[in-house]
Chains A and B, each alone.
Chain A
């Protein structure tokens, strides 16, 4: 086959050596052209979906991981060069997990200085009186992700409210969203299925959330972070060590690998031929196809959707008398931590999922990030 020494040139500028193959188009491009293309695509998404308006205060949900680090970097760059006129903030949640969150928060603190963005950290301890360490000590390693997910969602909203933010942006990427669409089908969660592929959610809630990376491939985010030597944290949560070992994620990755028999040939000629103005056959398209399906699902209006009200206890949006966080918290404080667990699980038999027989679960990122 081809040896690597046969240097291939960037198909955009034809000046520099190609450094990567873009998953979306299979174009072989150099780093400089990649930076431009990557940033411009996100700019186009922001503009065409009208994610922001001038003067918006935008809180960036920052975990210190790759997605949110790249998001903070790119957003502050775009804000500068395209003059969006946004006030950007980093917003982090301190779950109180020793050896995990304390380390990743250090990354966020460094990002604060590197990108010159003000940082607000909200902690579970301050908001709820409990750290995840304490919760796990009480309830063990079962269902801990339920607590964490419910608490994080509310913590982000409260942090954003504290910052008087108009929008909250998160780093969910195309791979995450494709996975969420599949998981919601597998779990029978029709309410989430109907909204999980929208680029903006929660417009009726206190603070709208949006996902500028909705169409951005995980591979490009990681490549961008690597080439730019961005400082991010990549250790798995100690309380769900195998969380990313999910069926659905692996399935999507397998799908990406299915290539049409022509594709090796296409890789060679992809820059020369763009026939019918259509993108040429290659598999990573599966991710965008799943998102497209998610967008095109028309949910029957006779399907009951939970009605939104407010929690009698804390005033947070809730479809029940008390919001989920208050129910869980009440259980913790009364020493009955099982209270509230499993009630929102829609599908039959879902309870066993987290216990996972062979160490595998259908979910990959259980810890809250699937909750849109």
Chain B
């Protein structure tokens, strides 16, 4: 990290980054006798670039940095069987650096697969398909309309300028969570969000709605994977904020490479990449990103993320320590790609998947989920329904939510609660009803389990 005295900053300072970025391989230090210490530890040919933080800070040259970062992505994809040749993958693209890099890497992967496909004789392995979705949240966030128009333009440009195969681009307003036949979706959404007064609650609610929207788009257009750009820094913040909100039980569900509790499994291939590395990558390759202006937030989430950023500045391995610690918590059974039984899938793919899925034999299964945030419910949060026969459906909904949502999102007086309930998108209400039905089924199964002598592990 240190600047090497008289020779000026060859690599150490942030200020120097821009020049380094423009000409990463022709930095002025080549003639410097001390430069051996500044050579990339991998290729030992080029000078290192720095300023990308994380545990690899200042170790690689620009090229090796790129391939190292892509390597982390690819390892996550292959070792968790995230993408198979027959898949159709939807990249959730916010325009920010993380999802920009996720899009780029998925694209690179697809391009390689495409080249292999062209080169192979029998063309037996198909190339997975890629689509991009942008969720427009301007109906509930104060985003100036001209900014949104600009963003749409930029995103169009980004996606269309990627080399073939062509990627379908979906612009979807967040109010799409309401069924398309109801024309008042936007009004209902605004009403719904207005009931939530707590800033943290609003952010968390929006996050849940965003996932509902992503799921809906994916399912409508036949995608079978959703790629999120969540990086290690983001996940570290999530670990802390979930802890602070009392979600210690459900936390492991959110931070794994694969999250298949949804209809369409969600994958996190950038789970091992630091935010600073991602920013560096965008700078090096001049990847265009957009940042929509939002008001400063006084939520727990933003307090946590500035806390984690502070810790990361103090110690470049802090974020990975946090995620590593949380990684030792037991994941859930849905934290892996469901095994393919379909006979049309190449045998090699199935075999590969089987191998990797074996690793996560230690997991927790959960039957109940919060209808709002879909986090698995702890036993203590599952309410005994026998006492709730005569309740209004809004009250029933309230009690079937996790305690964090109850506190952070749901209104505590029953009039507002009823209002909130009537404005909820159908899919969330349906989830709650499913919880209630499952509850009965679970009871039935329990009785059956008692009668059966031995267990079977098919799913």
**Contact present between A and B (CB < 8 A):** yes
Q: Is B44 an interface residue (CB 8 A)?
A: no
Q: Is B191 an interface residue (CB 8 A)?
A: no
Interface centre among A279, A292, A293, A357 (most CB of B within 10 A): A293
A229 to chain B, nearest CB (A): 35
A302 to chain B, nearest CB (A): 6
Q: Is A185 an interface residue (CB 8 A)?
A: yes
Check B330–A298 contact: CB distance below 8 A: yes
Beyond A276-B412, A353-B315, whether A300 also contacts B329 by CB under 8 A is yes
Name B303's contact: one of A254, A260, A285, A352 (CB within 8 Å): A254
Check A190–B198 contact: CB distance below 8 A: no
Interface SS of chain B: helix
Q: Residues of B contacting A247 with CB < 8 Å?
A: 307, 310-311
Beyond A299-B329, A357-B314, whether A280 also contacts B412 by CB under 8 A is yes
Beyond A285-B407, A298-B330, A299-B328, whether A276 also contacts B244 by CB under 8 A is no
Check B243–A185 contact: CB distance below 8 A: yes
Q: Residues of B contacting A297 with CB < 8 Å?
A: 248, 251, 329
Q: Residues of A contacting B249 with CB < 8 Å?
A: 293, 296, 298
Check B330–A299 contact: CB distance below 8 A: yes
Name B246's contact: one of A273, A275, A292, A348 (CB within 8 Å): A292
Q: How many B residues have CB within 8 A of the partner chain?
A: 49
Name B362's contact: one of A189, A279, A300, A362 (CB within 8 Å): A300
Q: Is A234 an interface residue (CB 8 A)?
A: no
Name A188's contact: one of B299, B316, B321 (CB within 8 Å): B321
Name A255's contact: one of B300, B315, B318, B330 (CB within 8 Å): B300
A300 to B55, CA, bound (A): 25
A350 to B197, CA, bound (A): 40
Contact mask for chain B residues 401-419; partner A; CB cutoff 8 A; 1 contact, 0 none: 0001011000011100000
Q: Residues of A contacting B91 with CB < 8 Å?
A: none
Q: Residues of A contacting B364 with CB < 8 Å?
A: 298
Check B307–A251 contact: CB distance below 8 A: yes
Q: Residues of B contacting A254 with CB < 8 Å?
A: 303
Beyond A296-B248, A298-B329, whether A348 also contacts B317 by CB under 8 A is yes
Beyond A186-B311, A296-B378, A298-B364, whether A347 also contacts B321 by CB under 8 A is yes
Check A258–B407 contact: CB distance below 8 A: no
Check A255–B244 contact: CB distance below 8 A: yes
Interface centre among A188, A262, A273 (most CB of B within 10 A): A188
Q: Is A182 an interface residue (CB 8 A)?
A: yes
Q: Residues of B contacting A295 with CB < 8 Å?
A: 248
A-B contact pairs, 9 of them (CB 8 A): A186-B325, A188-B321, A189-B325, A251-B303, A260-B201, A262-B198, A278-B412, A294-B248, A298-B329
Q: What are the 9 tightest A-B residue pairs by CB atom distance, in nearest-first order?
A: A293-B248, A289-B246, A296-B248, A296-B249, A188-B321, A260-B198, A293-B243, A292-B246, A188-B325
Question: Which residue numbers of A lie inside 8 Å of B, CB to CB?
Answer: 181-182, 184-190, 193, 247, 251, 254-255, 258, 260-262, 273, 275-276, 278-281, 285-286, 288-290, 292-303, 347-350, 352-353, 357, 360, 362
